[in-house]
Amino acid sequence: MLPQQELVRSAQYRDSFKGVTLYGVAGTNGSGKDSLMNLLAEHGFLLFNTGDALREISQAVFNSVDRGGGESPVGRLGNAFRTAYPSGMTELGLLKWWARVAVLPVEMWPKGLAIGSLRGTGEVRRLKELGGKLIVVDADPRVRYDRLTKRGRGDDNITFEQFLDKEAQEMAVGQTDPAKFGMAAVIDEADIRIENNGNDIEAFKRQAAAALVLST
């Protein structure tokens, strides 16, 4: 076992998150998770973007950032992290806080930590174990597909049918293994749900701020 794997099991490490506001963000692709994360950043939260972290490694290792369930390059990496850490990508976000924030005087701490997006039940379990809440964002599939195609990122250049197929793989209905990719079970764990079917980002942010009781 590596030192960092021992660290995350220690009482001292767990205790360092007492009093820290923790949010996990999850949801369907194109639902507005990034907009929600940006909103939290605007309100003083430190962010850990799991997708960016996985794509960075996936590009280096597989020369691909393809996603679409546990057998895709990004999915395989995510599952590998969930094997290394029972809480998978949540733990990488917690480690970021521990290494970069916990050493500072409390008056220099961000308002909290937001980790997104979570894609396995083990990640949600760890979040809630430390007192965090899971926010799930969703929208109609066609609305989300249109957003993704307009975004223009390479891995979003697919047909609507391909989009639905990838989403079915990511949902992995019935998958509850904490070390595996399983969005359906994650979504079921939501503490706060936000629907985002509109085209006005600022309106969505106001709606989300109200749901999270963030000061304006």
> Where do the domains of the chain lie?
22-211
Per-residue pLDDT of the chain (216 residues; tens, 9 = 90+): 788 889 999 999 999 999 999 999 999 889 999 999 999 999 999 999 998 999 999 999 999 988 766 678 988 888 888 888 888 899 999 999 999 999 999 999 999 999 998 988 989 999 999 999 999 999 999 999 998 888 765 556 789 998 898 888 888 777 777 667 788 899 999 999 999 998 888 899 999 999 988 754
pLDDT of residue 114: 98
pLDDT of residue 158: 83
pLDDT of residue 17: 95
Task: Answer yes or no: pTM beyond 0.85.
Answer: yes
pLDDT of residue 69: 64
Q: Are 23 and 137 in contact (CB under 8 A)?
A: no
Phi, psi dihedrals of residue 64, rounded to the nearest 5°? -155, 145
CATH assignment of 22-211, given 3.40.120.10, 3.30.70.380, 3.40.30.10, 3.40.50.300? Answer: 3.40.50.300
Q: Can you tell me the distance from the alpha carbon of 182 to that of 178, in angstroms, rounded to the nearest whole number?
A: 8
Nearest CA to 171 out of 120, 133, 114 is that of 120
pLDDT of residue 150: 84
pLDDT of residue 199: 84
Give just the sign of the alpha carbon dihedral 39, 42, 44, 50.
Answer: positive
pLDDT of residue 216: 45
Q: Can you tell me the distance from the alpha carbon of 172 to that of 169, in angstroms, rounded to the nearest whole number?
A: 5
pLDDT of residue 48: 97
